[in-house]
Amino acid sequence: MTAKTYLRHTYHRIDSGFKKIRRLLNPVRFYANSTINQIKTREKASITLKRTPNIVVEINNTCNLNCIMCETKNSKRPKGVMPAADFTRILDRIIKPKGQKVLVVHTVGEPLIHPHFDTVAEEVYRKNIRLLITTNGLFLKKHSRVFEKYPGLFAGINVSVDGASEMTYDKIRVGGKFDVLIENLTWLTEINRKLRLKIPIRIQSILSNDNLHEIPDYFKVYTKYVRPENISFNLISNLSSNREKEGYFFSKNILEKESVPNAPCILPFVQMHILFDGRISACCRDYHGELIMGDIKKDNWEQVWLGEQYEKMRNLHRLKETVNLSMCRSCYGVPIAFTFILNNYIQYLVYKNTIDKVDLNEKINSLLKQFSDFYHKKDYKLHKLVKILSV
């Protein structure tokens, strides 16, 4: 461990200790302050071009599930996997030279069903890069050799679940089996402990009217595998292959009145997505290949990133004229500030050990209604948010 790394770890340990003390002294103020800091940090994230983007690699766009909020099977792009040789060339020519230390291998699809995931893992490990994956968790155990052979490979594993009971999980995650998920989470927790891998594991869920009532159950079911603070919820967006008005987003959104176009979007300014066939997309969920900017097999990635086509798209987002881009025009979501307040409120109830002792649906509806006024007035006073969180 270098001196710089040691100092960074020491700082994080001290900072973590101070946070625990502040939370202990005044929990509601702690979570209110956390919400305001998150909102302000996000609002400072301007749409300024990053000269060296973070690169995400889609190693496959195939999935074993067809979740009702994604409907991946309706994607118009041909299904396929990135050949191991192509992946190695991307690591050698782009990821390694630009100094990227952590690689995300996900856009559309389940990365763990790539037929040569072990080769992908070996190449990343050999080049001293770490993997961050988002997975449905149903194939973790299948890759036990990867976990055993390449310690330190994973920078983190995010497991998407979207339900805390068999009935809800199987309804939303079409094709999945709740008992298989639990079996794999149990295995992952055990091997993480046994081999002292120290992999950060997160449970994440898209929140909708289908699973809102199960929030307390998440903390009964999944705290066997992760700490409560590593269970998080995102409000539903329509980043789906079906963006029509009759789609899941518009029918199951708990905050439909707060839904707004996700534009201007920050991604074309900071992140590049290489699809399994080598094409470069400006979007993190390009189901139909609508925002292709170039091809890594033919073009220099830097020239694509700084090129005319990318810049033309960025100008549309700078001027908020994304109506000219059908994919961006139909991209809706709820402002991220609502996700911040929701997660902090849930964590506050968990910390107080009252999450299963209140009418959570009623409390959340009241919270979000009051927060809406607070957010739209942009009057981020701590004492006001403390009052809202105390509903």
Residue pLDDT, tens place only, 40-90: 998 887 778 888 999 999 999 999 999 998 888 888 899 999 999 999 999
The Cα 249–Cα 240 span in angstroms is 9
- Contact of 332 with 262, CB cutoff 8 Å: yes
Give me the mean pLDDT over the 281-294 stretch: 93
Note the pLDDT of residue 8: 65
**Exposure string for 46-57, b = 16+ CB within 10 A, e = fewer:** eeeeeeebebbb
The Cα 348–Cα 361 span in angstroms is 16
The Cα 98–Cα 41 span in angstroms is 26
Q: How many CB atoms lie within 10 A of CB 187?
A: 16
Give one word for 313, left, alpha or beta, with left for phi > 0 and alpha for psi -120 to 50.
alpha
Residue pLDDT, tens place only, 216-266: 999 999 999 999 999 999 998 887 766 665 678 888 899 988 988 888 888
Residue pLDDT, tens place only, 157-201: 999 999 999 999 999 999 999 999 999 999 999 999 999 999 999
Q: Nearest Cα to 82, choosing from 52, 97, 103? A: 103
The Cα 144–Cα 82 span in angstroms is 22
Give the chain's mean pLDDT.
Answer: 90
Q: Which residue type occupies 201? A: I
Asked if the model's pLDDT at residue 319 lies above 90, the reply is no
The Cα 61–Cα 72 span in angstroms is 9
Residue pLDDT, tens place only, 100-139: 999 999 888 999 999 999 999 999 999 999 999 999 999 9
**Model pTM?**
0.92
Half-sphere exposure of 162 (CA within 13 A, CB side): 25
DSSP letter string, 186-227? HHHHHHHHHTT----EEEEEEE-TTTGGGHHHHHHHGGGTS-
Note the pLDDT of residue 244: 66
Q: Which residue type occupies 46? A: S
The token pair at 169 is 């999980």
Q: How many Å from the N-terminal Cα to the C-terminal Cα in the chain?
A: 46
**Helix, strand, coil % over all residues of the chain, rounded to 5:** 50, 15, 40
The token pair at 262 is 């996700």
Q: Nearest Cα to 62, choosing from 82, 87, 83, 80? A: 80
